[in-house]
Amino acid sequence: MNFQSAPPKQAPTPSGPTYAARDLTEGSNQAQIVLDDQTYTLRITRAGKLILTK
């Protein structure tokens, strides 16, 4: 019998720069992100999830 395995899946290539959330928050649990005239808050929860709010 001859079994052929599928080629390994590759992770998708990001379309822009990659930033570590902890670098953005500089040791805190939140950072302010400005887009045009709007300010957003990026927050890292205790469970390690990200929340982005306006």
- Residue 17 in any domain: the answer is no
In angstroms, rounded to a whole number, what is the distance separating the alpha carbons of residues 36 and 54?
Answer: 13
Q: Report how many domains make up the chain.
A: 1
- Residue 4 in any domain: the answer is no
Question: Which amino acid is present at 35?
Answer: L
And the tokens for 50?
């990200």
**pLDDT tens digits along 15-46:** 889 999 999 999 999 999 999 999 999 999 99
Long-range interactions of 18-21: CB distance < 8 A, separation 24+: 21/50
- Residue 40 in any domain: the answer is yes
pLDDT of residue 7: 67
Whole-model pTM above 0.75? no
- Residue 30 in any domain: the answer is yes
DSSP states of 1-54: ----PPPPP-PPPPSS----HHHHHTTSSEEEEEETTEEEEEEE-TTS-EEEE-
